[in-house]
Amino acid sequence: MLRTGPGTLFDSQAALQKDTQLLILGQSPGDQWLYVETADGVMGWVFSLLLNPGSAVAAAPIIQPENTQLITGRVFDGNGNPISGIQFSFIQGTGSNPPRNDAVTDSTGTFYAFMPLSAHGTWTVSYTAVACTSNTMDANCNCLNGACGKPDPELTTVILPFSGTLTFVWK
């Protein structure tokens, strides 16, 4: 999907077919979303793991997305070392299909959850998963030393608009 902003809560502009050629114009902080242009000149955001961009991403500048609200957080171990590859969900309300967004910590232990300006109210931020690429996992996607750990707290809430940075300790 080509979206108007870097997150699943933003409107879809187009469904992209497999092997669609895209020009990478930039990337969001956290490297999860790429700002691209289609051959037709349509610009928007795509989730980076859905593409096979090769080395073009490394050269892409960081672009601060416009018309978004940002929830940031950091995950560190007890020694202050950043923990990468930790996924958090951002959910408003309950039911079978509440609004949801996700973000994963990068190599600095930071996640960036971009939310539409229209998003408001109370959102639950909860630990969802650990990626195999996390620095808490070995090459076979097993927890290091058999201890998987989890963030503390595992769940918190924010009220949008939100300023500040959430902090989690990996235990």
Output the domain CATH number for residue 17: 2.30.30
Cα 57 from Cα 34, distance rounded (Å): 8
Of 19, 107, 103, nearest to 65 by C-alpha is 103
Domain end among 22, 41, 59: 59
Q: Helix, strand or coil for residue 111?
A: strand
Q: 80 and 49, same structural domain?
A: no
Per cent of the chain over pLDDT 90 is: 85
Residue span of the structural domain in which 27 resides: 2-59
One domain for residues 108 and 152: yes
Residue 20 tokens, joined: 């669609």
Q: Could you tell me if 78 and 160 lie in one domain? A: yes
Q: What is the pLDDT of residues 41-98, one digit of tens each?
A: 999 999 988 877 665 677 889 999 999 999 999 999 999 999 999 999 999 998 899 9
Answer yes or no: do 10 and 48 share one domain: yes
Instruction: Supply the pTM of this predicted model.
Output: 0.92
Cβ 91 vs Cβ 56: under 8 Å: no
Neighbours of 138 (CB within 10 A): 10
Question: Could you tell me if 45 and 129 lie in one domain?
Answer: no
